[in-house]
Amino acid sequence: MTRQKTIATGIGFGFAIALLFTTISSAQSPTTPSLPQLTLPQLTSPQTVTSTELARGEVKLDGRKLFTIAAPAVRNQQNGTPITARAQNIETNLNRIVDRNLDPNQLQVTTAIDSASNLPIISVNDQYLMTVTTLDAQLQGQEPSSYAKELTQTIRNALIEAKRERQSDFLVRQCAQAAGVGVVMFLTSWVLSRWQRRVIDQQRQRQTEIPADPIVSPNTAESANVTTSQIVQQQMIKRQQRNLREAQRRLLQLTQVGIWGIGILIILGLFPYTRWLQPIVFSTPLKILGIAIVTYLAIRLGDVVIDRFFSALSDGEVSSPQASQRIALRVSTFSVVVKSLSAIAFISIAMIAILSVTGIEVVPLLAGAGIIGLGISLASQNLIKDVINGFLILLEDQYAVGDVIQVGKASGLVEHMNLRITQLRNAEGRLITIPNSSIAIVENLSKDWARVDLAIVISYDANLDQAIHIIKQVGHEMDQAPDWQAKILEPPEMLGVDDLNNAGVTIRVWIKTQPLQQWNVGREFRRRLKLAMDEQDIAIGISQQSLPLRSAAEDRAFDGGNHSPDQNNLGGGARSK
């Protein structure tokens, strides 16, 4: 039912867009023939001036382009250029003629040769309008006289059309069309608003149905492989839905803004008094705003695509739970890095597009940016080392988010990593930030498998064989226990007597466990072993030290009888007076 409503809404939206474009075509196609638009062919005469030496200007009437004029290019002109002043002068004369009581039946647009300049001039009802210069004609690849005759017909049609558009009956029809465009804009915007509200409600409902992420410590029994993989997948699904919701919401808002912008553009073009405002709608600030919005949507949609790709990649891998955990952690780390790189790429393209829109030549700028980038790279070698080492860490899968690692004296859970830094959370809750370039040797305590290294010290008076038997028995019982069987990969390995020292006899045991489970298994094994050794009266080794004591006679014999009588006591007290 929801899908049918969505399809119906889409059909209605498409119908509204079609109606809107129909209105556009009808508004831009008046009943009278349209004004001829002059093409600008390339110059073929060898005597013509090249386009790089010319300044061009457009002559418009009621916002419609009539023809193009040319003049020599003038640089460093502060108060306007001659071509701009000339175009404005011609447009002022045309508007003055239209505002008068112009009779289309008595309109005469003529051309004649000026005796002083030997150039054709164009007059309207015997009033001077403009002079057709040699550069104007050369820009069109024609002679001045022939080009002047062509302009007379263009100007006549434009004046007749401008006079007709100022009639009351025409303005009434245009007002009706403007009202129709406004109704279409309002209905389409209302449909999109309802659609957006419905999408937001559905997203909120789905958000409440998804359980919250459980808080799992890497050093607890709840951090099993399957649980870790499920947590990472849930987080990726939430990121996908959040990015998709944000992209849909922004896209609907952008569509609404586009509909109102197009509608306002059409309404402005319906009336001769407001048609000159149309270029403002597509001015440079609005273009920059549009580029920024499109870039934002591209980044959001790119995040959705990347999350879906990595999610499908991890789901497609058929492997053991241990490998599934590793894949999930690595996919989560790679997705963050790839999304960061894609965002940088989109922002770079947007910056180039903005520079192009503002009229700045991009190619020389990129060449200069390359030289500047070379200098910056020489000054930021550590940053480049960070990026390169971070890329190699990800490529070689040295560690990922969720691993427990040790780098030098720092150790902890990897909370965040990118191409520049790695952040660890240690046992005390401190966040440690390490530049990737300083990571030379890293110890991964949670990759593939882990090991409990137990050194058990017993007293010299204890029965050694009985102690070894008890240790093996405790290891076997724990290996067969349902709660610990999944965490212990192999039966505990008894290595035997490892050392003899003043504390006692050291017996070493190895237990191979799942990643991140070595601490839990070690704690439980020590607890069980202590209880079992207490039952058998096997004492734990205690450091011992021998202190021999000698009598005074033995002391004199040992020292050769060199002690004075006052020093014959054990304390060596001072002589009394």
With a CB cutoff of 8 Å and minimum separation 6, the contacts of 411 are 404, 405, 424, 426, 443, 445
pLDDT tens across 193-249, in order?
888 788 777 767 766 655 444 444 443 434 444 455 555 556 666 666 766 777 777
In the block, which residue shows the tokens 């647009």?
A: 109
- Is residue 157 a contact partner of residue 143, using CB atoms and an 8 Å limit? no
With a CB cutoff of 8 Å and minimum separation 6, the contacts of 420 are 383, 386, 387, 390, 435, 436
- Is residue 159 a contact partner of residue 102, using CB atoms and an 8 Å limit? yes
Question: For strand 410-417 and strand 505-513, is the pairing parallel, antiparallel, or unpaired?
Answer: unpaired
- Alpha-carbon distance 302 to 297, whole Å? 8
Alpha helices by DSSP H, listed for 317-361, are 321-357
Q: Which residues of the chain have pLDDT under 50?
A: 1-52, 211-226, 318, 565-577
- Is residue 468 a contact partner of residue 494, using CB atoms and an 8 Å limit? yes
Which two tokens mark 189?
A: 């915007």
Long-range contacts of 105-114 (CB under 8 A, 24+ apart): 107/156, 107/159, 107/160, 109/152, 109/153, 109/155, 109/156, 109/159, 110/152, 111/145, 111/148, 111/149, 111/151, 111/152, 113/145
pLDDT for residue 433: 92
- Specify the DSSP element, H or E, that contains 141: none
From the number of C-beta atoms within 10 Å of its C-beta (0-12, 13-18, 19+), residue 403 rates as: buried
Q: Which amino acid is residue 311, in one-letter code?
A: S
- Is residue 508 a contact partner of residue 453, using CB atoms and an 8 Å limit? yes
Q: Model's pTM, two decimal places?
A: 0.49
With a CB cutoff of 8 Å and minimum separation 6, the contacts of 329 are 228, 232, 400, 401, 402, 403
Which two tokens mark 210?
A: 């998804």
Question: Chain-wide mean pLDDT for the chain?
Answer: 75
pLDDT for residue 220: 40
Which two tokens mark 497?
A: 């007597």
- Is residue 409 a contact partner of residue 442, using CB atoms and an 8 Å limit? no
- The CA-atom distances, in angstroms, between 226 and each of 218, 220, 264, 322, 468 are 13, 14, 57, 8, 35
With a CB cutoff of 8 Å and minimum separation 6, the contacts of 67 are 38, 58, 59, 151, 154
- Alpha-carbon distance 100 to 109, whole Å? 15
- Alpha-carbon distance 509 to 498, whole Å? 9
Closest to 447 (Cα-Cα) out of 500, 515, 391, 501: 515
- Is residue 411 a contact partner of residue 425, using CB atoms and an 8 Å limit? no
Is the torsion defined by CA of 281, 283, 286, 290 positive or negative? Answer: positive
- The CA-atom distances, in angstroms, between 7 and each of 328, 394, 482 are 36, 43, 53
- Alpha-carbon distance 223 to 544, whole Å? 41
- Is residue 27 a contact partner of residue 270, using CB atoms and an 8 Å limit? yes
Residues found in the chain: 577
- Is residue 405 a contact partner of residue 444, using CB atoms and an 8 Å limit? yes
Which two tokens mark 499?
A: 């050392």
- Is residue 289 a contact partner of residue 295, using CB atoms and an 8 Å limit? no
pLDDT for residue 275: 81
DSSP states of 157-189 as a string? HHHHHHHHHTSHHHHHHHHHHHHHHHHHHHHHH
- The CA-atom distances, in angstroms, between 475 and each of 1, 505, 514 are 60, 19, 16
Closest to 349 (Cα-Cα) out of 310, 395, 292: 292
Q: In degrees rounded to 5, what are phi and psi of residue 493?
A: -100, 115
Q: Measure the N-to-C terminal CA separation of the chain; round to a whole number of Å.
A: 115
**Edge-to-edge strand order for the sheet containing 505-513?**
450-458, 505-513, 493-500
- Is residue 302 a contact partner of residue 347, using CB atoms and an 8 Å limit? no
Topology of the domain comprising 450-535: Alpha-Beta Plaits (3.30.70)
Where do the structural domains in the chain lie, given as residue ranges?
51-166, 174-360, 450-535
Region label for 488, one of left (φ > 0), alpha (ψ between -120 and 50) or beta (otherwise): beta
Q: In degrees rounded to 5, what are phi and psi of residue 48?
A: -70, 160
Q: Which residues pair with 421 in a beta bridge?
A: 435
